[in-house]
Structure 1
Amino acid sequence: MSVRWLQGLLFLILVIMSLPAVGQTSWQPPDAKLAIEIDGVKGELLANSRIYLRITALEGETVPSIFRVRYLARQGEQEIRSALEPFGFYNVTVTSEIIETDELWTIRYQVDVGPVTTYDQVNFELTGGAKNDEAFQKVIRSLRPVSGQVFNHQAYERFKATLRNLAAERGYYDAAFLKQSVKVETSTQVANVELVFDSGERYLFGETSFCCAFLNNSLLERFIQYQPGEPFTTRALLDLQVDLAGSDYFNRVEVAPLWQNTTENRVPIDVTLSPNERDRYQVGLGYGTDTGARITLGFDRRWVNDRGHRLSSVIRLSEVQNTGFVSYIIPGNNPARDSYSFNGEITDRSFEEQRSTLYKTSFKDLRHYDRWHRTYQLAYQREDFAFGEEPTETSNFLIPSVEWSLIESSNLPENRNIIDDGYRLSIMLQGGHDGALSDTTFASIKVGAKWIHRLNDQWRILLRSEVGALRADDFEVLGPTLRFFAGGDHSVRGYAYQQLGPENSEGVVVGGKYMTASSVEIDYAFKPNWRVALFTDIGNSMMNWDERLKQTVGFGFRWVSPIGPVRLDLAMALDEPSKPWRLHLTLGPDL
């Protein structure tokens, strides 16, 4: 019997033996889908297991060949074991089975994580200048692994990365791990760690030089909030870059430490600047129910001279009010936060039988203190005004004023135009004296607040309140800009702009000594970038505090556009005989 004949016989026998197996194999129908189940783990353990499983790429798809499914299912057992090791599970048992039906094949994994690995011996040492740095001690207290703690790879690596990042941020340029080892004993489920981190010495700021600057060095140096010889921080350099970029003088700002030029542990800082366009022109169209159709024309000269003085001007034209405004701005000691300005304004307003022409010049001193803003102002204004058929009157006032405001907010990560949580507080005091270029003595105060809070992923609550009061020897001399009114898009919705308040004999609203306007609103995100709101507003302008307030209720829609929320509100005036509805359309930030 020849060898070739024996080989052929053997092949035939193998084929015959395989026929029953093939006949018993459950081949998938063409439309069978693949599903994956993992039992025995949940939370981040389950999530990481699914990330490691290669077969999840086929989930929901038509089942490929049985051989490929069985191969990937077996591979998945080891993949799950690898996925759980970073969480301290080194003795994981995984079994798998394939459940076949006509429409669905399910690969089911059963996982037994076993005992978790914990730290036994943890030897950590910090050497170098950072040994006495409180910032490092804070990190060590909060993140350093300790004996008995679960050995979690991610937490361990995060501790090391935090040390490296902190060293870079605080000027320990030569920092490095001299030792970093982890030994895991799978038989006893313990991990032994040895870490030695040498920070080296901390570098100091050297001199800062500006390249290609068209502005005076004395101005540029005022942007710097550190001094040569101070300990280095990248935060200070980031602040410098942000402030220079935000000044509007430059279209490109690069701030870089020159580590290769370090001498005597001092690192020089190089700042490269490219100028912005010197002149900027603006044209804007808009519509608001308070103003009607409007157009804005603006011209700015970003720098007038090498000392960084700026000129800003704008003309706003609308159906209700026309304004021309010009401002000459001088940078302060900290140009990013402080400024002085000389301003001129002409405003002509005619609305619902109220007529006013205001001529105003002012000097402002503006300061920013982190979240706080403070503005001192000294203004002289002349106002020609009339209500209804009354003759035109003229008032003149020299008005010192001060305003404080505080704004703090956080935005949704997925959309920076939506306030997640935040508040705004403001207070303004102003007055005049009849012995100092004013027609009568008066004093007024206005306080405003708004609070926004996200209740959950869909719901927010928005609260707003505003209160104003004034005292005047002769109230009738005060022009409309010095009196209090209520009503409008940002006051009491359901009423027209500034149409709530005391009236004269002709029924024309003339404004009052006191004002209050409050709102409670809740909105709901029914789809991305779209919200629906319910609200109630209450307020009025009065000559006495005991006068009745007006209340409205309404609903609205919000579209979160790329340039900010657009609000469309419909409000009912409950205290009016016919309970009329009024439409309000506004565009702008929540705070």
Structure 2
Amino acid sequence: MKNKLLKIISAFLFFAVTPNSYAALYLHTQILGISGPTLENIKNRLTIKQKTEFATITPQSIQGFYKTAPKEIELALQPFGYFHAQITSQLTSENNQWYATYKIKLGQPVQITSLDIKIDGQGANDPIFKNFLATSSLHVGMPLQTEQYEDTKKSFLDLALSNGYLQANIEQNVLKINPLNNTSTIILHFNTGHHYKIGNVNFTTDAFSKDFLDRFLPFQKSNFYTAQKIQELQNNLTNSNFFSQVSIIPQTNTPQNDTIPIEVLLTPRKKVQYDLGLGYGTDTGVRGLAGIGVRHLTKTGQSFNTLIKYSQTQRDLEIHYLIPGKNPVTDRYDLSAAAEVQNQSYGNSQAFKISAGYITSIFQDWQQTLRLSLQQERYNYVDKPKQNSFFLIPSYNLLHIETDNPVKPTRGHRINITIQGSADSTISDMTFLQTQIDLKYLHPLSSVNSIVLRGTVGYTAINNILSLPLSLQYFTGGAQTVRGYNYNKFGPGRHLLIGSAELRQKIISDWYAIGFFDAGNAGSSFFNIGLKRGVGLGMIWLSPVGTISLSYAKALDSPGNPGMIQFSMGPEF
């Protein structure tokens, strides 16, 4: 019974004109019995035919189209191997509405019965061409589709050119079709020609030295040319923050001996960058920043930047001198100095630090930072006398961020691990070891809903936690940690534990309503840390400068206290 049922797919082609001697005439064309690419090809051919033939629609032109359309349908089916299709048709009209119906029975397609594909030349044993043959869409016994045949020829030439075979060609190209017995023969003999290597790379800028620019090359000049290597070079230069425009032109039309010269057109970014910002957060109050950066002080890419941040509770000054490493895309040395002044409800401090760090990439998309810092700090806790501290602190940081969009992400995660410490056997005043792990996970639940999970675990090994200066202590509470409580309300403590779950519901565009539950504390033990809980609702905006959040949170472990409106902004990851 199924075989007698025709799958009906209708394609209506609509045309109307109003000549002087006729009322408006309409022609509807209906194709029955087929679907997919074959139907689309028929529709395209008939549409083109109607547009070229119907300058004026008349009963005579409609009948002429109706009689010649079967030939167009036959031609449209042949690229798919159907040479024996049976087409029955019917033309009716009613009240200036004309209906042309074509019912198609495809019949048996022409099959590939003989196939001879081979590759000669210098690249005959190249793995890329062996894989090309192994994954070819042409096989004996499959229906002949001329589009696949043409794609195979084009794919070979594209593959050869993108891998340095500039003179690749098709030596023999034969397609024989015998419609009477539904057979076909394909002969394709390819020749790769000579395999070219990467030649001289010429950078068109004098802002940087040639030796420095050569460090961006992801290849040796003796390597064979591939388009992938050129794309890697493009990415290295574009992602380096040194250039505003990068254009790479392989000279494939004018090779030199056995090599392809590479022309790299570079436009350096403006040498000096200025940063100004003004904002507000319930944790910090009114805040602002000002900075200046010199992107390239020297022809070897060394740079300098300084940043001043000011708020009602904290003032910071940072100065960084950056020296590119062996791979300037991923490696750099950071010589820095920083000063920090805190005026918090739990105490005050003035800290000064100088450090030397090395930043590089490991594994895949992981960044590690090795740093050695000298830190001097004068501080006091509330109702405690001022103290002085001096530390030599080695530290290690491992950071991994993966997201679909760095500014407005819809999914992603972040892993941030830090280990630091000091020993009184050196020039430090005391011994301590501190570890902290920060995790964040953003995942869409549907096209309009998502969930954000956040967690932090920290531990400080030290004899007396109050002997550790403020800048190294664990605190929690506030719009970025446990909402519903004041900034850094809980602490100090040698153990830190924070968890958060947030549901987001898209309202419109980049605006979301949120509901959240936070819990955390800084205490003397993980086992009886006494988590402080907060719950609330709010709204966020994924703005061009980061995530802006406005929330109303209720502290569940502070009975009698009213809810709190909190505001924050910053990058999602």
Q: TM-score, normalised by structure 2?
A: 0.82
From 439, 450, 457, the counterpart of 1:449: 439
Shift of 1:331: 1.1
Secondary structure in structure 2 of the residue aligned to 1:438: coil
From 452, 456, 476, the counterpart of 1:466: 456
Shift of 1:189: 4.6
Secondary structure in structure 2 of the residue aligned to 1:132: coil
- Please say which of residues 440-449 and 259-268 is displaced more in the overlay: 259-268
Residues 492-503 of structure 1 aligned to structure 2 (within 5 Å): 492-499=482-489, 501=490
Q: What is the alpha-carbon distance in structure 2 between the residues aligned to residue 74 and residue 584 of structure 1?
A: 75
What's the counterpart of residue 377 of structure 1? 371
Residues 49 and 84, structure 1, Cα contact 8 Å, conserved in 2 = yes
What's the counterpart of residue 393 of structure 1? 387
Q: What is the alpha-carbon distance in structure 2 between the residues aligned to residue 88 and residue 580 of structure 1?
A: 77
What's the counterpart of residue 398 of structure 2? 404
Secondary structure in structure 2 of the residue aligned to 1:143: coil
| Change beyond 3 A, Cα 1:323–1:144 | same
What's the counterpart of residue 541 of structure 1? 522
Shift of 1:365: 0.3
What's the counterpart of residue 321 of structure 2? 328
Say whether residues 1:249 and 2:242 are aligned partners: yes
Shift of 1:484: 1.7
| Change beyond 3 A, Cα 1:260–1:119 | closer
What's the counterpart of residue 294 of structure 1? 287
From 484, 503, 520, the counterpart of 2:474: 484
Q: What is the alpha-carbon distance in structure 1 between the residues aligned to residue 92 and residue 279 of structure 2?
A: 63
Q: What is the alpha-carbon distance in structure 2 between the residues aligned to residue 52 and residue 110 of structure 1?
A: 16
Q: What is the alpha-carbon distance in structure 2 between the residues aligned to residue 565 and residue 136 of structure 1?
A: 48
What's the counterpart of residue 165 of structure 1? 158
Secondary structure in structure 2 of the residue aligned to 1:224: coil
From 169, 175, 184, the counterpart of 1:176: 169
- Please say which of residues 532-541 and 65-74 is displaced more in the overlay: 65-74
Q: What is the alpha-carbon distance in structure 2 between the residues aligned to residue 562 and residue 101 of structure 1?
A: 59
Residues 37 and 108, structure 1, Cα contact 8 Å, conserved in 2 = yes
Say whether residues 1:574 and 2:556 are aligned partners: yes
Q: What is the alpha-carbon distance in structure 1 between the residues aligned to residue 281 and residue 488 of structure 2?
A: 14
Q: What is the alpha-carbon distance in structure 2 between the residues aligned to residue 208 and residue 479 of structure 1?
A: 53
Structure 1 stretches lacking a partner, 5+ long:
1-25, 59-63, 502-509
From 182, 188, 191, the counterpart of 1:195: 188
Q: What is the alpha-carbon distance in structure 2 between the residues aligned to residue 101 and residue 130 of structure 1?
A: 66
Amino acid at match of 2:534: T
Secondary structure in structure 1 of the residue aligned to 2:160: helix
What's the counterpart of residue 213 of structure 1? 206
Residues 111 and 183, structure 2, Cα contact 8 Å, conserved in 1 = yes
Q: What is the alpha-carbon distance in structure 2 between the residues aligned to residue 579 and residue 46 of structure 1?
A: 70
Secondary structure in structure 1 of the residue aligned to 2:238: helix
What is the number of equivalent residue pairs in this alignment? 546
Residue by residue over 1:459-510, the C-alpha shift from the partner in whole angstroms, topping out at 9 and shown as x without a partner, is 44433322111101221121222122223344333334333x2xxxxxxxx3
Residue by residue over 1:362-381, the C-alpha shift from the partner in whole angstroms, topping out at 9 and shown as x without a partner, is 11101123412110001111
Residue by residue over 1:188-212, the C-alpha shift from the partner in whole angstroms, topping out at 9 and shown as x without a partner, is 5554332222222221122333334
What's the counterpart of residue 413 of structure 2? 423
Residues 160 and 168, structure 2, Cα contact 8 Å, conserved in 1 = yes
Residues 408 and 544, structure 2, Cα contact 8 Å, conserved in 1 = no
From 292, 310, 314, the counterpart of 2:303: 310
| Change beyond 3 A, Cα 1:289–1:219 | same
Secondary structure in structure 2 of the residue aligned to 1:511: strand
Q: What is the alpha-carbon distance in structure 1 between the residues aligned to residue 549 and residue 196 of structure 2?
A: 52
Secondary structure in structure 2 of the residue aligned to 1:226: coil
From 323, 342, 349, the counterpart of 2:342: 349
- Please say which of residues 473-482 and 80-89 is displaced more in the overlay: 80-89
Q: What is the alpha-carbon distance in structure 2 between the residues aligned to residue 552 and residue 569 of structure 1?
A: 11
Secondary structure in structure 1 of the residue aligned to 2:134: helix
| Change beyond 3 A, Cα 1:114–1:335 | same
Amino acid at match of 2:171: L
| Change beyond 3 A, Cα 1:554–1:200 | farther
Secondary structure in structure 2 of the residue aligned to 1:130: coil
| Change beyond 3 A, Cα 1:215–1:524 | same
Identity across the alignment (%): 28
Q: What is the alpha-carbon distance in structure 1 between the residues aligned to residue 311 and residue 68 of structure 2?
A: 71
Residues 26-37 of structure 1 aligned to structure 2 (within 5 Å): none
Residue by residue over 1:77-112, the C-alpha shift from the partner in whole angstroms, topping out at 9 and shown as x without a partner, is 777666665555555566677898999998876554
Secondary structure in structure 1 of the residue aligned to 2:328: coil
What's the counterpart of residue 429 of structure 2? 439
Say whether residues 1:552 and 2:546 are aligned partners: no
Amino acid at match of 2:286: A
| Change beyond 3 A, Cα 1:118–1:216 | same
Secondary structure in structure 2 of the residue aligned to 1:544: coil
Residue by residue over 1:372-422, the C-alpha shift from the partner in whole angstroms, topping out at 9 and shown as x without a partner, is 2110001111223333343333322111001112233445xxxx7554553
Residues 441 and 474, structure 1, Cα contact 8 Å, conserved in 2 = no
The alignment yields a C-alpha RMSD, in angstroms, of 3.8
Say whether residues 1:279 and 2:269 are aligned partners: no
Q: What is the alpha-carbon distance in structure 2 between the residues aligned to residue 478 and residue 141 of structure 1?
A: 65
